[in-house]
Amino acid sequence: MPSTTQVEVVVIGAGLAGTAAATVLARAGRSVALVDSHRVFPPEFRAEKLGPPHVAMLEPLGLADTALGAATAIDSIDIYRFGRLVARHRGREYGYGYSDVVNALRGAMPAAVDFMVGRVAGIEAGPGLQTVTLADGRAIAARLVVVATGLGDAIRRMVGIARVDTRKAHSLSLGFDLDRPAYAYPFESLAYYGTGYDRVAYLTLFPIRDTMRANLFVYREANDPWTRAFRQNPAETLGALMPNLGGICGGLGVAGRVQVRPIDLTLSQGHRRDGVVLVGDAFCTTCPAPGVGVKRVLTDVDLLCNVHIPRWLATPGMDASKIGAFYDDPRKVESDAQAIRQSEFSRSMAIDPGLVWVARRARNTLVRKGAALVRQAGASLVRAEAPPMTGSSARM
């Protein structure tokens, strides 16, 4: 007869949010079961860059060393606007494969985490004890169910929580590899911004191990003829979109298939439930272009595991009024709102036909072109006033 596992918290979904939550809770001495349908997280096109704000959140969670150990360090990024180099920023960022980081975090989980591979067949939730049943008959009894299933809706539907689209087909994220090793390019990493009239947010090129990886963020739909053309002839379509890119890269080629991820902006509805809480993308989804998604997920994990769950477990019961304290936490409310605002702002700045946004784009174009001319003039003046180089230094 299948057994029943008794824990304080069961986390369903072992992506970034779920694995991080299980780790933080177990290190704090909580009994935790983590459920996922895959023992090894499969390749999946999700977030692929980490910056200082993300590292600053990973560190206090005790996850930075493991996550960054599976990533590739980047120390400079060349910024291009209107096809011209306008700045070179110095600072530590990281390129990574989402599944690489998730599997590294899984491998570093405390032994106390009961990692169970299986498909959830049913959930019985209430103000007291929760029961999660797997397809093979195993059961988990817990005081709290944490749903960290990302974009998946099956678990949410089981507990009566709906997902509402606030903007369908908000954007597209495209991921692909360039055809030469990362060291063969004349830059460490690059960000190439759209003109404001081409439906492009930006392209970023960065190393993941020896591969030069590309993430392109556009405001188009998956069935758009342009999207089909990009899938079929990515190098040619990218070259037409960004004519100077081939020269910057010293040649432009794409290796392998293009991964396309449509982005919908969504919110949860009916989520204030006894015994069940949503974390990360299971609660709401935002656009990855502004780069705030991972920060939002880690904010959820921090608040839920370090603030609210300890309080909830300290007293009997797990009714909806307890759960609501997490959703109403000012830090969470602001984190979600900021990510939504930035998602909408980035899109409007790129394609909104309203007069206000047209004027903003025109103003930004003039300001950026003017700044580029000033930088170019300053560089020319420095070159003109620089003393001639002699000896071996002149040949370097």
Could you tell me if 179 and 284 lie in one domain?
Answer: no
For residue 187, give the CATH number of its domain.
Answer: 3.30.70
* 297 and 152 part of one domain: yes
Is 64 part of a structural domain of the chain? yes
Taking the chain (396 residues) in runs of 10, the rounded mean pLDDT of each run is 91 99 99 99 96 97 98 98 93 98 99 98 97 98 99 95 96 98 98 87 98 98 97 97 96 97 98 98 97 96 99 98 98 98 91 72 63 53 34 30
Residues 40, 26, single domain; the answer is yes
> Which stretches of 127-253 are assigned E, i.e. beta strand?
130-134, 139-142, 144-147, 162-181, 190-193, 200-208, 211-218
Distance between CA atoms of 182 and 54, rounded to whole angstroms?
Answer: 24
Q: Exposed/middle/buried for 238, CB within 10 Å: 0-12, 13-18, 19+?
A: buried
Quote the Cα angle for 164-101-291, to 5°: 50
Query: Which of 263, 294, 318 is at the close of a domain?
Result: 263
Q: Is residue 365 part of a domain?
A: no
Beta-bridge mates of residue 218: 172, 200
Q: Which domain holds residue 157?
A: 4-74+94-165+266-348
Q: Which of 263, 284, 305 delimits the end of a domain?
A: 263
pTM value surpassing 0.85: yes
**Same domain, yes or no: 223 and 318:** no
> Quick one: 176 and 314 in the same domain?
no
Residues 249 and 216 in one domain: yes
Cα-trace Rg, the chain: 24
Inside any domain, residue 355:
no
Q: What is the CATH number of the domain that holds 308?
A: 3.50.50.60
Q: Is 41 a domain residue?
A: yes
- Looking at residue 381, what is its pLDDT? 38
Judge if 206 and 66 occupy the same domain: no
Last residue of a domain, one of 348, 363, 384: 348
User: Cα–Cα distance between 328 and 317 in angstroms, integer?
Assistant: 19
pLDDT for residue 388: 30
Domain count, the chain: 2
Q: How many residues does the chain have?
A: 396
Stated as kind and residue range, the H or E segment containing 285 is strand 284-285
Written as six digits, the tokens of 45 are: 């096109």
Q: Which of 286, 332, 305 is nearest to 46 (CA)?
A: 286
- Residue 159's pLDDT is 96
Q: Please name which of 63, 37, 2 lies closest in space to residue 298, comparing C-alpha atoms.
A: 63
Environment class of 218 (CB within 10 Å of its CB; exposed 0-12, middle 13-18, buried 19+): buried
Are residues 186 and 57 both part of a single domain?
Answer: no
